[in-house]
Amino acid sequence: MKYDKAYFQPAVDYIKSQIGGFEPKLGLILGTGLGGLAAQIEDPIEVSYKDIPNFLVSTAPDHAGKFIFGTLCGKKMMCMSGRFHFYEGYAFEQLVAPVRVMKMMGVERLIVTNAAGAVNTDYAPGDLMMITDHIKMTGASPMCGPNADDFGPRFFDMTRVYDRSMMAVARECAKRAEIKVHEGVYFFFTGPQFETPAEIRAVRVLGGDAVGMSTVTEVLTAAHCGMPVLGFSMISNMAAGILDQPLSGEEVTEIAEKAGPRFSAYLADVIRSL
């Protein structure tokens, strides 16, 4: 299968038929616990993933499964409430869908967010980390298979995908709000199992500050089509083996939801300032 513009055109046509001429410019993918920000979108128009042809259906718990279009802090947004993960059973190649559809809808820049486990022991649950780079050591990529030349080249640059000018704006916002936003490297695991303590020690040696099971497929797809990205992790837990206790999905969701409002307020200010 070639996931090119012709493949996604029915999805784009359907979405356009639902949103009455609205032209989104900024994409936002909301991670666990960040649903609150979606509620602030003015005049929202929702489009369920399940109604979109040639698209994917969200299966993860706590992920709503819809695009929300509307204005947030003065920006015309295409927001994903609920996202797609490799561990749900999709092939990496299928995971290009959301960002390619965003690109075809006219989205120029992308903000990605997630909940992540802290590998860096200077971090604590509830903290925020701006993603300055990532590491993915699992072999496959969303860009495997025939290249969709109408989105980008076969081989593409990853040195500047986390956009320096957007990061500078985010830094200024943190300074103004007097909140600490760490800057670190997001290390991707496919999941759905959490990592072993030995894997987390390895991540630390390799230079990772936080671990998670999302985001990187979206960032790669954005990089391929030349879309600048700003990324944030909300630290929901210390990664495996740091504390003498097991990890659970419930803990991740609980902490992410508790820290959600503070993160949302900061993110709203970043969106306004971009």
Pairing state of beta strands 109-118 and 75-81? unpaired
Among 239, 242, 267, 270, binds ligand HPA (CB under 6 A): 239
Among 77, 95, 107, 116, binds ligand HPA (CB under 6 A): 116
The answer to whether 235 and 121 are in contact (CB under 8 A) is no
CB of 69 to ligand HPA, least distance (A): 27
Backbone angles phi, psi at 73, to 5 degrees: 50, 40
Residue 269: half-sphere exposure toward Cβ, Cα within 13 Å: 16
CB of 125 to ligand HPA, least distance (A): 10
Residue 115 lies near ligand HPA (rule: CB under 6 A): yes
Residue count of the chain, please give it.
Answer: 274
Count residues near ligand HPA (CB under 6 A). 14
CB of 178 to ligand HPA, least distance (A): 26
Of residues 35, 10, 9, the one with CA closest to residue 264 = 35
CB of 144 to ligand HPA, least distance (A): 23
Residue 222 lies near ligand HPA (rule: CB under 6 A): no
- Nearer to ligand HPA by Cβ, of 166 and 239: the residue is 239
Residue 185 lies near ligand HPA (rule: CB under 6 A): no
- Nearer to ligand HPA by Cβ, of 107 and 116: the residue is 116
Among 236, 263, 266, 269, binds ligand HPA (CB under 6 A): 236
- Nearer to ligand HPA by Cβ, of 8 and 123: the residue is 123
Among 173, 211, 222, 225, binds ligand HPA (CB under 6 A): 211
CB of 55 to ligand HPA, least distance (A): 24
Residue 129 lies near ligand HPA (rule: CB under 6 A): no
* Residues of this chain that bind ligand HPA (CB under 6 A): 115-117, 189, 194-195, 211-213, 236-237, 239, 247, 252
